[in-house]
Structure 1
Amino acid sequence: MPEMLFQVRWPDGSDSTCYSPSLVVQDYLTPGGDYPLDDFLNRTREALEIASERVRAKYGFACSRAMDQWAEIDETATRFKSQPDARVRVIAFQG
């Protein structure tokens, strides 16, 4: 199963490199795309859940690393939830 990394820039200018066990993230995010925080969270949660389920279908168990990545994204996002105009930029995909 092809893994991928995707780099994002948070509203404070900090960058994170995130993991997905599947290329499905490309269906939900676009490099150079600038997403409102809630939209970014919804997209990444759905993409990582699908990616984890693809691992389950292939190997018989969910991808805990994908779910750990989602938890890290959600935790980071809490710093910006009070900012009504907070946006997250997808910088790049790394295959």
Structure 2
Amino acid sequence: MPEMRFHIRWPDGRSESCYSPSLVIKDYFVPGERYALVDFLERSRTALSIASARVAARYGHPCSLALGQLARIEAAGRLFLETPDACVAVEAFDE
């Protein structure tokens, strides 16, 4: 399966490189766009869950790396839930 990395910038300016085992991320994010925090979290949940399910369909087990990445995104996102107008920027894709 084609895997990729997508690079994001959190509301505090910290950048992070995130992993997906599938290119499905491209269906949910556009490089250069900023997403409201809640929208970003929902899109991440959906895209990484689909990516993990694709691995499960092919190999018989979900992708622990995708689920781990989602857990890290969820944990980091919780830090900004009370920040007014918090946005996450999707900066780039690496395939």
Partner Cα distance (2:84, 2:92) in 1: 25
Deviation of the 1:84 alpha carbon: 2.3
Deviation of the 1:62 alpha carbon: 0.4
Counterparts in 2 of 1:31-50, with a 5 A limit? 31-50=31-50
Partner Cα distance (1:6, 1:43) in 2: 13
The answer for unaligned runs of 5 or more in structure 1 is none
Deviation of the 1:79 alpha carbon: 1.2
| SS of residue matched to 2:79 | helix
Aligned to 1:89: 89
Partner Cα distance (2:66, 2:73) in 1: 11
Partner Cα distance (1:34, 1:42) in 2: 14
Q: TM-score, normalised by structure 2?
A: 0.98
Partner Cα distance (2:93, 2:42) in 1: 18
Q: TM-score, normalised by structure 1?
A: 0.98
Partner Cα distance (1:79, 1:56) in 2: 31
The answer for unaligned runs of 5 or more in structure 2 is none
Partner Cα distance (1:33, 1:20) in 2: 18
Deviations 1:23-66 (A, max 9, x none): 00000000001000000000011000000000001111100110
Deviation of the 1:78 alpha carbon: 1.2
Counterparts in 2 of 1:11-90, with a 5 A limit? 11-90=11-90
